[in-house]
Amino acid sequence: MTHAADTPRPTRFAPSPPLLGTIAAPGDKSISHRAIILAGLAIGTSRISGLLDSGDVAATIGAMRAMGARIEQDGDDWVVQGVGVGGLMQPASALDMGNSGTSARLLMGLVASHAISATFIGDASLSRRPMARVAGPLADMGAAIDVAPGTRLPLSVRGIAPAIPLAYRLPIASAQVKSALLLAGLNTPGATRVIEPVATRDHSERMLAAFGADIAVETDGDGVRTIILTGRRDLSPCDLTVPGDISSAAFPIVAALLVPESRVTVTGVGINPRRAGLLRVLGEMGGDIVLANQRDVGGEPVADITASHSALHGTDIAADLASDMIDEFPILFVAASMAHGHTVARGLGELRHKEADRLGAMAAALAACGASARIDGDDMIIDGSGGAPLPGGATIAANHDHRIAMSMAVAGLVSRDGVTIDDMASVATSFPSFVPLIERLQAGA
């Protein structure tokens, strides 16, 4: 039987008229996962507004429900009654993480310090992604991980309470690993310490503090952060608003920079410095990007962002910037392909471990559309077209990767012959309204 969701949705993105108008950014995916998880652990009722309605967040909601949290939609809000730290229940069946690495890794951490066991499964893409980065330190905390060699999904975590508090220096810059260990630390007596030589997105730290966790952050003279979480404290419920997702806003913003005569405003976008590296790089490339109405939403900095068509020039992106824009490289590569001159983006090995190998897949996709992109070790090197449209004309395999699908869709908007994406279904994981919002901007919304 063929299910509707399994039917590929090929879509052609033709050369675009100017993009004009104002749209609201969808809720931040990273923050939405964390809001559901922490509200699901608090004692009492939390109300969340602005939650991202997407496949990845649905995976986290499903798993937290399966472990006892009561999570209901109330109009545009979500109302969550938590189980209390230490109160997760044994799930009756395997937890389906779908396409979502964040769900899988954060929830593995959560289960590790509860006396329950859970089997984690995922789609073909997620089942190829490395899980040893969380399984290793969680085993050091006392959890038993049952997994085939290679440490990929499916795997089972048998948690332990009390777990052993860990001091762990992150060997890779990963907010998912950091967050998995902090969540494991919540039900672990004593201090769990995560040492972060390269700073990554700090949504977990901010939100843990908002829910009343005992958390402190120390930064040494070299900028190395140590996050200290003392476990076994109850979490208090919160009413919070999820800011808009800069990783989604990136697509209309770059599209506006590239499509002649465009001017687009995206409202309510999170500009946390550990997420907003793309804005800094596009600014250095000559992009006309204006931030207005800067404010705080849910403990995160937010702004309305206006991007206008600009002549971009190439740039050199240092490796230490990578984690501040890790999910934005695919769309940055599209921008660089149309810039004047040479762009080098360095130290991007982690891109090989996302929903697809984003280095290899983007180099191939851009080359298929007539751009000059090549990989040298962990670096991407692009010679821009100098503002000329890319030839296009290709059909690109999205490979279950929403960011490749949306990036190459934007490439189609600025191509000579259009670009076809073989299957746009993956955008439902992070930005279900991507196509209608682009169409609204084309109509001058």
Known binding-site residue numbers for 3-phosphoshikimate: 29-30, 34, 174, 176, 327, 354
Which range of residues in 4-12, 14-22, 96-104, 314-322 is near ligand PEP by CB under 6 A? 96-104
Q: Name the nearest CA neighbour of 191 among 157, 233, 220.
A: 233
Catalytic site residue from 327, 357, 401, 423:
327
Q: Are strands 300-308 and 288-297 parallel, antiparallel or unpaired?
A: antiparallel
174's contact among ligand S3P, ligand PEP, none, with CB below 5 to 8 A by partner kind, is ligand S3P
Q: Does 324 bind ligand PEP (CB under 6 A)?
A: no
Q: Does 30 bind ligand S3P (CB under 6 A)?
A: yes
Which residues from 339-378 bind ligand PEP, rule CB under 6 A?
A: 354-355
Q: Does 248 bind ligand S3P (CB under 6 A)?
A: no
Least distance in angstroms from the C-beta of 175 to ligand PEP: 10
The CA distance from 249 to 437, in Å, is 11
CA angle 274, 279, 282 (to 5 degrees): 135
What Cα–Cα distance (Å) separates residue 131 from each residue in 109, 136, 327, 347, 391? 11, 9, 19, 21, 39
The CA distance from 191 to 185, in Å, is 7
The CA distance from 179 to 169, in Å, is 13
What Cα–Cα distance (Å) separates residue 284 from each residue in 201, 249, 314, 347? 22, 18, 9, 19
- Looking at the Cβ atoms of 325 and 438, the one nearer to ligand S3P is 325
Q: Does 403 bind ligand PEP (CB under 6 A)?
A: yes
Least distance in angstroms from the C-beta of 233 to ligand PEP: 27
Which residues from 378-397 bind ligand PEP, rule CB under 6 A?
A: none
Which position among 54, 60, 99, 102 is part of the footprint of ligand S3P (CB under 6 A)? 102
Sign for the pseudo-dihedral over CA of 281, 283, 289, 295: positive
Buried b (16+ CB within 10 A) or exposed e, 184-205: bbbbbeeebbbbbebbbbbbbb
- Looking at the Cβ atoms of 16 and 248, the one nearer to ligand S3P is 248
Least distance in angstroms from the C-beta of 201 to ligand S3P: 6
CB-based burial of residue 136 (10 Å sphere; 0-12 exposed, 13-18 middle, 19+ buried)? middle
Q: Does 326 bind ligand S3P (CB under 6 A)?
A: yes
The CA distance from 19 to 418, in Å, is 16
Question: Which positions from 166 to 205 touch ligand S3P by CB under 6 A, shown as an x/- string?
Answer: --------xxx--x---------------------x----
Least distance in angstroms from the C-beta of 328 to ligand PEP: 9
- Both tokens of residue 36? 């559901």
Residues forming the site for ligand S3P (CB under 6 A): 30, 102, 174-176, 179, 201, 326-327, 350
Q: Which residues are catalytic, by number?
A: 327
| Residues engaged in binding ligand PEP (CB under 6 A) | 29, 56, 100-102, 327, 354-355, 403, 430
